[in-house]
A and B are shown apart, each in its own frame.
Chain A
Amino acid sequence: MVENSKAVASCGEALVKLLEAYGVDTVFGIPGVHTLELYRGLPSSNVRHVLTRHEQGAGFMADGYARVSGKPGVAFVITGPGLTNISTAIGQAYSDSIPMLVISSVNETNTLGKGWGRLHETKNQRAITEPLTAFSATAYRAEDIPDLIARAFAVFNSERPRPVHLEIPMDVLASPVAYDWSNELRIARSRPQAEPKLISAAADLLKASKRPVIIAGGGALDAAESLLAIAEKLTAPVFTTVAGKGIVSPQHELHGGANLCMSPAWDYLEQADLVLAIGTELADTDMWRDTLPIKGDIIRIDIDARKLNDLYPAKIGILADAMGAAHQLNQAIDSLETKPSVVADVANLKNGILQEQAELQQKHLAVLACVKNHLPAEGFIATDMTQISYTGNYGFESEGTRSWLHPTGFGTLGYGLPAGIGAKIAAPERAGLVLAGDGGFLYTLQELATAVEEIHTPFVVLLWNNDSLGQIRDDMIAMDIPTVGVSPVNPNYTMLAKAFSCQTYKPQSLDELESCLEEAFKYMGVSFIEMHDSSVDIAQ
């Protein structure tokens, strides 16, 4: 045992205690010379440290952790390369409004901006993370930290959640604290509530509408109950974005699904006389077109004021937390007569979407159906940027919220595996599946080492192998551009997974996939299933 004789807590030690007081139970990271002082206090805390194999993995894991738990994911990274390595994951979290706290070191205060060529030196780290975060700050004194952490949690709890970056110079990290602030909680938990006048105006519009539609995004995950009640009272179908999947049960007759990218849904929206959009950006990454053909009025409810009048100017724009506003709105609406024709239209719409699927998408749906058959209740799926995920974004019906993780806005390759690991660490009792393509998987495959080291309950990596960057290849062909760099020479994925001590499967048919999934979800550890697109025969 190394003797630690320091009587006064250092800034780094106090910070770990403070994080623990804020409810942080896990940090993802890789220690380095610059962050030693952050690690000093870890062993005496209850905070679990998950060692990743690349800092981008730490970021995506923190993201997956946050998506499943609703709590901020926390990462510790070193100055310079550690921070730039995690920056892509910060960008992804920013795009998808995921709470994430990235704590990095930075060179000693007196060296900042000097360009002396110190180890890991960067011109200005905060300038890198500033465009990717709600805010990025430097703690110039140990005593600044309780303020800055309080501000970070105010972002996570009370505004549109987004990543926060806090950098701490090495000299500050190592400095003794002037007083003990390690338990100094300043929690702002209140979220903005809707203005009552606007709620009643919105209720009046909804009651008067003939054919209303509800669109719910990732911001409305906690408003599911009230939204469903509103939908039932109005007989309004609910469409969700990909981030909003699971807000309405797929068995419900008003479940429109995450089908906003499908033309039958566009047709339906075109006929709507009123759209209630709640907790959604209505961004084109969910629509696969620039804007939706909405002809009727729009009521928007969003915690971010800037979202109320951008691409889709609102007739009524309500700045509020989705859960509170949906609750108020529900109370302001009485049950109306049900409209059986709407229910029939929704069923037709969903059937229509199934009918218009091309052969490739039918293959995807066949594989996803196998997954659905075997994914245990409460299971989650973390997806990468791959064609089968794009199909699943609308075609896979999630039973609950926080069950389908997808890097929608930023669109990062390599997200799926580490995000799935982070999700699994947040919810070890839930079975987890990662859905990745052959191109995206290679971005972050080193995190299989983290997975086998940390995960001892069912966790399945399903690799969809078509030996190409399929989407880009198809785009190039469509645009008459030579297919450069899209048909890679691939490794033997199953052998790689074996080298990482995973249990591996290589099914040759959909039937075999069924039995592999069944076994894999019983295995207490990491399974790897490689499914080649040529092994999927939908003519069967």
Chain B
Amino acid sequence: MATCGEILVKLMEAYGIECAFGIPGTHTIELYRGLPQTNIRHVTPRHEQGAGFMADGYARLTGKPAACMTVSGPGALNIATAMGQALQDSVPMLVISADNNTFEKGLGEGRLHETRNLQAAMAECSVWSHTLARADELPKVMARAFAIFNSERPGPVHISMPLNVTTSNADHVPMDLWAIPSRPAAAPAQLQQAADLLNESQRPVIALGGGAADAAEWVRALAEKLDAPVSLTHNAKGILPVDHSLHVDTSPSYQPVRDLYLDADVVLGIGTEFSESDYDFFFNGEFALGGKLIRIDIDATQLTRNVRPDIAIRADAQLATEALLPLINESRRNGSQRTAQVKELLAPLNHPGYQAFLDAFQVALPGAAVIGDSTQPAYFGAAQYHAPAPRRFASAATGYGTLGYALPAAFGAKLAKPDLPVISLIGDGGLQFTINELSTAIEAKISVAVVVWNNERYEMIAQNFVDAGMEPIACDIYTPNFLKIAEGYGCPAHRAESIEHLIELLRQAQKVDVPTIIEVREQDFIQA
């Protein structure tokens, strides 16, 4: 007999899931029965939040979902934060959690891991949350999950598996996969209107978000034809080559970039939310547009948020850009000069200490992916770090703003791209949230350079306290000895004394099959 739990892992494999993260428990044992018969790699994190962040890192680099498997109750709630981060950043992720028997639900009898209504909680952190009632529905449910990952704005999908459903007989369930729906293309009439507006424009600007990550080739051609400067969010970094003359690779929260937007007669926004954590990093509410706005987004409701478009095109970024391209007349619009002007104004705003530090990553390891946490250098990285390609930079400072993301997410990224160097950039406060995952990486032989920015305090919060007219409270914290901790986990650990030393250590970290902790003390790199 094949159980529903066994066909679930088979379906996961058939849909291309390569990696599953989970901590087995009494309630998920039956999900593990069929796993060894698949080619899915199972990695055991040390906390379910780690499972979620690893799946996130995996998806950021590949665009493909990984799976997470958790027990009901605490296991499911433990992963909620990682799902929240994935939801805010539109990252695909398949979360399977166990649940109590169908016939026990809602009775409140105090069963192990019982939650009054787990799905209600998980729904708030997912695009779609579903409790499976019968094995028969599983193929349809999986089809819908992958329709979301492939054909809509992606995000986490949660499937809750009651124990009695997981163990039920599924021999009769047809295993044919449902067709994956197509992605929406742009309506021709609107596309023509957009092209007309752009062709008539004098000072167009392109705003890119993470939704455009897979449209790099067409976006670049479009920018060159229009001769328009291109501004990017965190999740769009790398879409244009670093040294491209139209590349305004810094945060749109900085005034010179804001002036560029204000001065533009037409802005073309592609796959971007225009949201606070990229466009109003300093919370002053002063981002504004001076001209017309064309927005392209796969999510219809996103087109109604934050900034009002004159033309709103609901479409996949790549399909829309590709279709728009032939409608655009090539014309010179001083794009390079406008870009150069912005860069000149930005130069004095860039912090030289952080610049040298951030530049070291690509100098040491060309092409490396960098996964940042909510930490000072990652905040500066929004403006001053330049990614070598799309899907090579992610940071938890956007959207949900989670601490502890960058360590497990970097491990997930490395699992997705074993041949690519991966760097985790994390602060001393953030690292303590998820430091337990070092064990996972040792066990799974994951080589990541973990750069720990140590200022022995919650620096950002301390600054916020001062700005709000208060003495910082609970910001100067007892900080353990990270080098010794790393040693305790079995990781090589070093303190970088200089940029040159950091570069050397980053390279050295590639030679071992476990994480290397590289502690960087703020005072050694940043002049007070």
Contacts of B473 in A (CB 8 A): 31, 39, 42-43, 49
**B466 sits at the interface (CB 8 A):** yes
Q: A501 contacts which of B25, B42, B124, B480 (Cβ < 8 Å)? A: B480
**A40 sits at the interface (CB 8 A):** yes
**Segment touching B, from A87-95, A144-152, A292-300, A392-400:** A87-95
Residues A151-201 near B (CB distance < 8 A): none
Q: A91 contacts which of B74, B302, B469 (Cβ < 8 Å)? A: B74
**B256 sits at the interface (CB 8 A):** no
CB of B47 within 8 A of CB of A492, answer: no
Residues B447-480 near A (CB distance < 8 A): 458, 460-461, 464-466, 468-471, 473-475, 477-480
**Segment touching A, from B59-67, B246-254, B331-339, B438-446:** B438-446
Q: Interface digits, B42-84 against A, CB 8 Å rule (1 contact, 0 not)? A: 1010110100000000000000000000000110011011011
Whole-angstrom CA separation of A401 from B73 in the bound complex: 27
Whole-angstrom CA separation of A423 from B365 in the bound complex: 48
Nearest B residue (CB) for A6: B469
Contacts of B359 in A (CB 8 A): none
Least distance between B494 CB and chain A CB atoms (Å): 15
**A109 sits at the interface (CB 8 A):** no
**B110 sits at the interface (CB 8 A):** yes
Contacts of B108 in A (CB 8 A): 306, 310
**B380 sits at the interface (CB 8 A):** no
CB of A482 within 8 A of CB of B35, answer: yes
CB of B81 within 8 A of CB of A81, answer: yes
**B29 sits at the interface (CB 8 A):** yes
**A130 sits at the interface (CB 8 A):** yes
The total of chain A residues at the interface (CB under 8 A) is: 96
Least distance between B427 CB and chain A CB atoms (Å): 12
CB of A119 within 8 A of CB of B276, answer: yes
Q: B477 contacts which of A92, A116, A453 (Cβ < 8 Å)? A: A453
Nearest A residue (CB) for B117: A131
Whole-angstrom CA separation of A312 from B84 in the bound complex: 40
CB of B22 within 8 A of CB of A117, answer: no
Least distance between A60 CB and chain B CB atoms (Å): 11
Contacts of A3 in B (CB 8 A): 469
Max chain B Cβ within 10 angstroms of own Cβ: one of A117, A129, A452: A117
**A208 sits at the interface (CB 8 A):** no
Nearest A residue (CB) for B81: A84
Contacts of A496 in B (CB 8 A): 484-485, 488-489
Contacts of B439 in A (CB 8 A): 442, 488-491
CB of B461 within 8 A of CB of A124, answer: no
Contacts of A81 in B (CB 8 A): 81, 84-85, 400-403
Q: A410 contacts which of B74, B489, B490 (Cβ < 8 Å)? A: B74
The total of chain B residues at the interface (CB under 8 A) is: 92
Residues B103-122 near A (CB distance < 8 A): 107-118, 120-121
Least distance between A136 CB and chain B CB atoms (Å): 11
CB of B478 within 8 A of CB of A495, answer: no
**Segment touching B, from A232-240, A259-267, A472-480:** A472-480
Nearest B residue (CB) for A286: B110
Least distance between B460 CB and chain A CB atoms (Å): 8
Known A-B contacts A39-B473, A500-B480; A84 and B84 likewise in contact (beta carbons under 8 Å): yes
Nearest A residue (CB) for B87: A123
Q: A486 contacts which of B24, B81, B400 (Cβ < 8 Å)? A: B24
CB of B112 within 8 A of CB of A409, answer: yes
Known A-B contacts A53-B432, A411-B74, A484-B32; A118 and B470 likewise in contact (beta carbons under 8 Å): no
**Segment touching B, from A277-285, A325-333, A340-348, A425-433:** A277-285
Nearest B residue (CB) for A96: B110
Q: B47 contacts which of A311, A443, A490 (Cβ < 8 Å)? A: A443
Contacts of B42 in A (CB 8 A): 484-485
Contacts of B174 in A (CB 8 A): none
Whole-angstrom CA separation of A476 from B28 in the bound complex: 10
Least distance between B255 CB and chain A CB atoms (Å): 20
Contacts of A256 in B (CB 8 A): none
Known A-B contacts A91-B77, A95-B114, A120-B400; A443 and B436 likewise in contact (beta carbons under 8 Å): yes
Contacts of A490 in B (CB 8 A): 439
Whole-angstrom CA separation of A118 from B399 in the bound complex: 6
CB of B301 within 8 A of CB of A36, answer: no
Contacts of A119 in B (CB 8 A): 276-277, 399, 401
Max chain A Cβ within 10 angstroms of own Cβ: one of B22, B123, B125, B475: B125
Contacts of A411 in B (CB 8 A): 73-74, 112-113
CB of B88 within 8 A of CB of A284, answer: no
CB of B81 within 8 A of CB of A85, answer: yes
Contacts of A4 in B (CB 8 A): 469-470
Nearest B residue (CB) for A412: B74
Least distance between A159 CB and chain B CB atoms (Å): 15
CB of A476 within 8 A of CB of B29, answer: yes
Contacts of B49 in A (CB 8 A): 85
Least distance between A205 CB and chain B CB atoms (Å): 25
Max chain B Cβ within 10 angstroms of own Cβ: one of A124, A484, A498, A501: A484
Whole-angstrom CA separation of A445 from B121 in the bound complex: 26
What are some 6 contacts across the A-B interface (CB < 8 A)? A33-B464, A85-B81, A445-B435, A482-B32, A495-B485, A499-B483
- Beyond A2-B471, A39-B474, A469-B23, 11 extra complex contacts between A and B, CB < 8 Å: A29-B474, A36-B468, A39-B470, A81-B400, A88-B74, A442-B439, A449-B477, A489-B439, A489-B443, A494-B488, A499-B481
The 4 closest A-B pairs by CB, nearest first: A117-B275, A283-B110, A495-B488, A499-B484
A residues adjacent to B (C-beta < 8 A): 1-6, 29-33, 36-37, 39-40, 42-43, 49, 51, 53-54, 56, 80-81, 84-85, 87-88, 91-92, 94-95, 114-125, 127-132, 281, 283-285, 306, 310-311, 409-414, 439, 442-443, 445-446, 448-449, 452-453, 469, 471-472, 475-476, 479, 481-482, 484-486, 488-496, 498-501
